[in-house]
Copies of this chain bind each other. A is one copy, B any other.
């Protein structure tokens, strides 16, 4: 068989503000791959099916002077992200042709991988769409599940405030909080998103662009648990609305990722007087503790319709740049997924 095109979405240059499609990242289809003969060197050949676009990716696109947990991208390489792929050929006993695997993959149509430890075999007995495994049953769902279990210390009747509540992390948190008997206040950035958040059980859902967060929290709080996906002004409002002993689960601060002018937080003294606890975390640190129970529980509950999710699907690897920008500006409606190829 003749070599085929191996399209790639590449990181091109460090953005100063929001990532610009075609500038920060570029699509390249100049490479080809001979699927039957490409040497595997004891590895395995993966065909990418779905790619995940997530807020944390912005952290990879940074100047070398800024330290962070996320692997920094050097131009010009393929972007990297959570993906589901199908094994086409294998010289490794861990995976056989036809297996589906989940893990961090370069954003390209085909890749030869070497280390099987980096990938999880997806059995998918429930027959869920593969895209679900980069969303509610993948990294974002794990983020919600692990940290909620680890730090929420939720008690029935407590008030939880969840931001970016229509996204894959936030919407899972909303449902876990309801499951633990909390009253859930949830914010999102459009009336359509708010409708989804209400539909999955939030007691108070509001569009933060039309109703001031501070006003809602004053009326519906004080809050015992704050799930932070946004940071900035919303975090300040949550601190002011916090009850004594409130837990702040610091998952992300998307309002601060694309700005040169960080929000000046002035009320952190309340962390002492209100005895607040802030837990910053990255999902991978909790994987060892909760990973097994997550995969036992979530796919089953999602398949049963107990845990709901929403996806925003883009077709084609060339659209990754727009998808990243959508996620940074909140234009996406639910988990942003790139469908690269059919199964």
**Residues on A close to B: CB < 8 A?**
59, 68-70, 231, 235, 244-245, 248, 250-253, 256-257, 262-282, 285
Task: Give chain B residues whose Cβ lies under 8 Å from the Cβ of A252.
Answer: 272
Complex Cα distance A250/B275, Å? 9
Task: Give chain B residues whose Cβ lies under 8 Å from the Cβ of A271.
Answer: 250, 278, 280
Q: Are B69 and A274 in contact (CB under 8 A)?
A: yes
A-B complex: 4 closest residue pairs judged by Cβ atoms: A264-B264, A271-B280, A278-B278, A262-B266
Q: Which residue of B lies closest to A242 (CB)?
A: B280
- Which of B250, B257, B265 contacts A265 (CB under 8 A)? B265
Task: Give chain B residues whose Cβ lies under 8 Å from the Cβ of A251.
Answer: 272
Task: Give chain B residues whose Cβ lies under 8 Å from the Cβ of A267.
Answer: 262
Complex Cα distance A71/B265, Å? 26
**Contacts A69-B273, A270-B280, A277-B277 known; 9 new A-B pairs at CB < 8 A:** A251-B272, A262-B269, A264-B266, A265-B268, A272-B282, A273-B280, A275-B280, A276-B280, A278-B278
22 contacts between A and B (CB under 8 A): A69-B244, A69-B275, A70-B273, A250-B271, A250-B272, A251-B272, A252-B272, A253-B269, A253-B272, A264-B265, A264-B266, A265-B265, A268-B268, A272-B281, A272-B282, A273-B280, A273-B282, A274-B280, A275-B281, A275-B285, A277-B278, A278-B278
Total copies of this chain within the assembly: 2
Q: Return A242 CB to nearest CB of chain B, in Å.
A: 10
User: For A235, A267, A275, which residue has the most chain B Cβ atoms within 10 angstroms?
Assistant: A275
Given contacts A264-B265, A266-B264, A269-B256, contact A282 B275 (CB under 8 A): yes
Complex Cα distance A6/B137, Å? 71
Complex Cα distance A231/B273, Å? 13
- Which of B68, B256, B272, B280 contacts A277 (CB under 8 A)? B280
Complex Cα distance A244/B244, Å? 27
Q: Return A70 CB to nearest CB of chain B, in Å.
A: 7
Q: Are A59 and B278 in contact (CB under 8 A)?
A: no
Q: Are A231 and B275 in contact (CB under 8 A)?
A: no
User: For A245, A250, A279, A282, which residue has the most chain B Cβ atoms within 10 angstroms?
Assistant: A250
Q: Return A218 CB to nearest CB of chain B, in Å.
A: 12
Q: Return A253 CB to nearest CB of chain B, in Å.
A: 5
Complex Cα distance A118/B235, Å? 37
Q: Return A14 CB to nearest CB of chain B, in Å.
A: 17
Complex Cα distance A273/B252, Å? 8
Task: Give chain B residues whose Cβ lies under 8 Å from the Cβ of A280.
Answer: 270-277
Task: Give chain B residues whose Cβ lies under 8 Å from the Cβ of A276.
Answer: 278, 280
Task: Give chain B residues whose Cβ lies under 8 Å from the Cβ of A277.
Answer: 277-280
Task: Give chain B residues whose Cβ lies under 8 Å from the Cβ of A269.
Answer: 231, 253, 256-257, 262
Task: Give chain B residues whose Cβ lies under 8 Å from the Cβ of A59.
Answer: 273
Q: Which residue of B lies closest to A68 (CB)?
A: B273
Task: Give chain B residues whose Cβ lies under 8 Å from the Cβ of A282.
Answer: 272-273, 275
Complex Cα distance A277/B269, Å? 15
Task: Give chain B residues whose Cβ lies under 8 Å from the Cβ of A235.
Answer: 268
